[in-house]
Amino acid sequence: MSREQNRILDGNTFVVSDDRGDIEAGPTAVVGLFSIDTRFLSTWVLTINGERTSALSVDDLQYYEARFFLVPGVAGQYVDSKLSIIRQRSLGIGLFEDLTLLNHNEVGVDLTVRMQATSDFADIFEIKNELTKKGKYYAEPRDDRLRLGYERDTFRRETIITSSVPAAFDPQGITFQIHLEPGEKWHTTLTVSAVAVGPDGQDLRLGLSSQSREKGDLAVDLNQWLTRAPTLNSDSRSLVETYKRSLVDLAALRFPPLSLGGPALPAAGLPWFMAVFGRDSILTSLQSLPFTPELAATTLRVLGLTQGSRFDDFRDEDPGRIVHELRYGESAAFEEQPHSPYYGTADATPLFVILLDEYERWTGDLDLVRYLEFEARAALDWIETYADLLGNGYIWYERRNQDTGLENQCWKDSWDSISYHDGRLPGFPRATCELQGYAYDAKLRGARLARRAWNDPGYAERLEKEAADLRERFNRDFWVEKGQFYALALDADGQQVDALSSNMGHLLWSGIVPQDRATKVAEHLVGPRLFSGWGVRTLAVGEGRYNPIGYHVGTVWPFDNSFIAWGLQRYGFREEVAKIATGIFDAANYFQGRLPEAFGGYPRELTKYPVQYPTACSPQAWSTGTPLLLLRTLLGLDPHGDHLVVDPALPPDLGRMELLDIPGRWGRVDAFGRGRATLHSKEVERSPDGER
């Protein structure tokens, strides 16, 4: 019988169990205690006198802790139970499990309490791709602990389990023999520590020790995080709840990278992508800039440190290219896959420049812009040179690592995401439309930074000319005249990959689209082929590969919709923005305020509710950032010098909204809006004390 999953996480570490708190991991199940891309517990099963337990209720107290209320026996057999069991689990500098038993019987009881504990030390890629282990396992029980381990050459991972009260440790777990008098309570704290030994014999996780926190510290940190963020008040209670859920999930996904030091950046999502992830971290930081600008600063610094510096076909690395993904597991250590780090993405590099400029526009932090001048120039040079595989001024991609590299190196990175109208797949290299929009935007933003921070007007003029030339070519080569939309991509022969997709929505926020064509793009985006009623589909109904539950070929991705809405707002399409925002916020209500990575693209009138995508990450960073960017868009927030422009356009159903204490170069200001037919614009000036 399948059971509900419970998930808690904190930075590099997360736990996925069933609703009893038990962990029973199959070879391809993402269940267990995970840290730095390795599963450190694959079995963690509680029995009382040889019996499994049943859940009465589960409290998800915070993202880093949960409490399970249990009784012995399977469901239906515990009426008038005489024993209560409480498992309280939390993350901090390790996994802590407080186990409490209460005797409600009139007589004393003797109990054998057993925690089965094993580890397969599976690499996250091993689980995803069903790889096999090549090293050796060991188990070393002692009087005061159980040490489980795995070793392959210099690669070693260990799980160390201890108890706060005496216990019998054996190679498969821990046993307690206890006696409880009537009304008596028994308690122990089990601590599970993960150890990752590198080639130099040092624990890789030692670099995290200064950032590791006890449970009380985590509570204080979360409270401070929420307090620093702007306060949202709205007539829509569900919107306020979705906003708070987004802030909490964003806090949970903060990821301190090993060996790089400093604070955290957003990891991409649970369970598959708790890692440095260039594109996802950048886009999430863009979404959250008006709310948590510190994430953008960390993201820029970390991605600058890991920027490509050489040519490496195995890792798809070029000088100036921004990293796609960085992993620490066994398969990366032995180069069985290239994520150590891997650079196979074509969009993170222009997006890096875009984020740097947008961050400065919000914060006025010229020091960081000057600090990252070399990295920004290298990224812009990559766009102009190494990304232009065919020498015609576009960003193209083709993997050089044919064994394990990504075929598609845009945000829709599944194998079948880029297709012609009839469903055929083009050859390589490929140039998707949104990549050219990002390049155009990056060049203009780079020109702004060159004038404002780098004192190089000549470089700025060159970038502006390149941007103008790109805009002219793009609108000639990508526009599908018959359908009046932008092609998904160009193939290697320069022919249009003519599927109607959501990708062209990203062109609007880049600004590469002329106003007259923007009207046609907007009509398609909210028309019946692309708009499901909940959001814009990744691929339109009627395209050859359309599938409402296909990963990138018909599902609705919340993050995609947030950037599309941002672009529509740029061109003044307020009704269309309201339509998309309403659909996404309505969908969030069905997911308890936590938008998943993706959900089904079925028509709203058919299903009446958004259909879950089976393997979607949740929480997922850029889905968590979606409500934040939609709020910015609906309120029309945009920095202009030391002022914040507020130009609201709210759907009538949202009623009145106020966002208080928005941080930026202006200090902190407030924004107000009301959902009604008459829309007003206003500018909030900065006063000497930083208040509105």
Q: Which helix (H) or strand (E) holds 660?
A: strand 656-664
Name the DSSP class of 50.
T
Tokens of 434: 């949104």
75 burial (CB, 10 Å; 0-12 / 13-18 / 19+) is exposed
Q: Of 124-133, 318-327, 556-565, 665-674, which gets the smallest average pLDDT?
A: 124-133
pLDDT of 182 reads 96
Residues 6+ apart with CB under 8 A from 589: 238, 242
Mean pLDDT score, 628-656: 95
Has this prediction a pTM greater than 0.85?
yes
- 587: how many CB neighbours lie within 10 A of its CB? 22
Residue 207 pLDDT > 70: no
Task: Give the end-to-end CA distance of the chain in Å, rounded to a whole number.
Answer: 57
Specify the 3-state DSSP secondary structure of 312. Answer: strand
Q: Of 7-11, 18-22, 476-480, 512-516, which gets the smallest average pLDDT?
A: 7-11
Which residue did the predictor score with more confidence, 527 or 261?
Answer: 527
Tokens of 471: 């805009």
pLDDT of 257 reads 75
pLDDT of 128 reads 76
pLDDT of 216 reads 64
pLDDT of 688 reads 32
pLDDT of 268 reads 83
Residue 614 pLDDT > 90: no
pLDDT of 3 reads 63
The residues with which 158 forms a beta bridge, in sequence order, are: 149, 195
Rounded CA gap, 506 and 488, in Å?
11
Rounded CA gap, 325 and 356, in Å?
19
Mean pLDDT score, 107-129: 93
Q: Which fold has domain 5-208?
A: Beta-galactosidase; Chain A, domain 5 (2.70.98)
Residue 671 pLDDT > 90: yes
Tokens of 509: 């926020």
Tokens of 221: 């940190």
Mean pLDDT score, 114-120: 97
Residue 443 binned pLDDT confidence (cut-offs 50, 70, 90)? very high
Rounded CA gap, 212 and 95, in Å?
12
Structurally, at CATH architecture level, domain 235-635 sits in Alpha/alpha barrel (1.50)
Mean pLDDT score, 401-411: 93
- 660: how many CB neighbours lie within 10 A of its CB? 14
Name the DSSP class of 342.
B
Work out whether the CA dihedral 528, 534, 535, 539 comes out positive or negative.
Answer: negative
For the chain, percent of residues with pLDDT exceeding 70? 92
pLDDT of 386 reads 98
Residue 417 pLDDT > 50: yes
Tokens of 283: 């886009």
HEC per residue, 526-572: CCCCCECCCCEECECCCCCCCCCCCCCCCCECHHHHHHHHHHHHHCC
Q: Of 215-229, 378-392, 627-641, which gets the smallest average pLDDT?
A: 215-229
Residue 533 pLDDT > 50: yes
pLDDT of 681 reads 37
Q: Of 193-207, 526-540, 543-557, which gets the smallest average pLDDT?
A: 193-207
Going by their DSSP bridges, the two strands 32-35 and 13-18 should be labelled as antiparallel
Which residue did the predictor score with more confidence, 506 or 681?
Answer: 506
Name the DSSP class of 323.
P
Mean pLDDT score, 502-512: 98
Start and end residues for every CATH 1.50.10.10 domain found in the chain:
235-635
Start and end residues for every CATH 2.70.98.40 domain found in the chain:
5-208
pLDDT of 199 reads 67
- Give the residue among 444, 564, 430 at the shortest CA–CA distance from 504: 564
452 burial (CB, 10 Å; 0-12 / 13-18 / 19+) is middle
Residue 273 binned pLDDT confidence (cut-offs 50, 70, 90)? confident
